[in-house]
Structure 1
């Protein structure tokens, strides 16, 4: 048992203690580590001074830890909080609220990215995030763990694991699709969906019935569609190929809507690619982009000499984000340029393409998310320099720098 000692307090001792106590109360306390990152003073679109330091506000000590199997925990201990660097995923719940994930962390903002609250820390990078609304979101880790929140990120719990690296999108609290797989129990179990032969890239299921896939045979590329959950597939676009496809990406804004990116050859830091759009189930197709290059060859689906199609800026494709049947944004990347990151868009279903005038630094993979046709976030990354987040409120015409992340960890 601990020994209790009784000390007789003389008047002199009491007076001395009071003086010491008063002196201690007047000492300067250390600055709180839980304060939000400082907000930048923006002088012009795309510039900010000073920039936030990249430290997250982790002051919400009432957050419960995620389940142990998730190999991570809710960020409630300031002593073990991680620095927000190297963002790898982003998703919006609204123009002002959303999540970003990075190398072992998830954070949320409710003021358009000016400050961030770390909500989760773990040992793996976050591969992607999907938000159904302001409360419900999911995150996929590098080892395919599926984390979920139903309270806006105050708690993140292990929901299961995912079967592949495809694009994850939930259509309800329980039902989701990821390439050729679907779940009806929130990610605990997954069912494989039937897909056509000779696939290029991942198929995309908009819902339980409607899906899209890109296939190729020698000299030809196709877009195929199913309306019965994958049991049968029908070719709805067929184009000759001057060179084989090296990839494909599909997004959809409705049961009969599809935006399909074909990726061609690469060389000299250049990649050829094309973007097509249909809003009527594949009956009619609009060529949105046809980017050929000296290093990558012709735009996929077009002859060698074709050079008249609409073009995105940059020498290779950046992230594609589809807002609705009319609106899509796409980044461009130019590794040989001083400011490699550009962005363009269509707001008339692909009939016209507009290349924005903004160009920003960062030689890593850019991240793009839009709340609607006017408001969105753009994050540029780099392996040695701090990543930066920009926002737009005018559909991409101007971008304002709102946050600078911490400098990446030095590679070992």
Structure 2
């Protein structure tokens, strides 16, 4: 049997190896190469999904090129038949050397055909051509193959991100779209769901939990928020009802209440389906929602490595030279720690700035009550329509007249997000709203 991750070698070598059932070694072949080998050799493989009933089935992986061919034979009435559309097909599980030209009538892959025409239309506009040629030239065909391979790569990444989000308990899918260029997933970025704690930093878990049976309607001693002398943060729909700047105290792992408790919102993860997309105005990647989001609803956390401010200063100098960095200060009470999402982070890594944002930051405490290490959560400032880009203000300000939020008032700021290192530089803003400040810093 051939496995996608390992070659399994069964060995019987007498009494010296009577306890050796199987030996595994890393496989240097990709899944596609293994699938191709199985089909060529006529071998079934349960792990690759190749069985007797589908061994000879052929699935289109992507379309490489296009041409219109005029049939040489005339119809019975003597008329010349219309041109026939032909597509160069890359078959899933087979090498590119086995690509074949197929007529449109043989292809049942409606989604792939639609994507091919969309990509070709974009390329025709880029070339300033009004009509699709009868046959694609080599350069255009090569570009179409690159676009097709990009879709495959982004599709793999999309499924991986969605699976990771599901592991956290979030119910939303994560989509990935790039209709602008050939940029693929970030090479040196690892998607994580929770903070990665840096060297020399420890998180102290909470020792006590609430005794409530219904935290929203019958909170015992004010529930977790009351125990910290703060207000209960959410209403019955899970919408935040505190003013920005005020901390949120959620129930923790030591509380008696269950996972569906009204005071467990941020810890449930991302609930909305979101899309990472490539912007067309030089802002790199962005994030938009695929569904409507209610005002004051939790959207996502800002996740990354927790590092000291000293380490942030050191990294900031490196990021400054590279022209990009993702440092977010945790200065709810003291400016001691920073979250760095440059190489480890979640979907918030891709959220862009706006001078008129639809996301607001709140400090949240769950299993760790150290006020120097709050969790950073984004809530919707207003109702957000499906398809709208999600943004927050990199230079967020809290109402200076709000005495209850003075801890977060003057210290809260984002440092070093794209193009803005620790040492302030004059960075042009590209958010495009009417109230744009023209510069991020």
Instruction: Give the TM-score of the pair, scaled to structure 1.
Output: 0.25
Larger Rg: 2
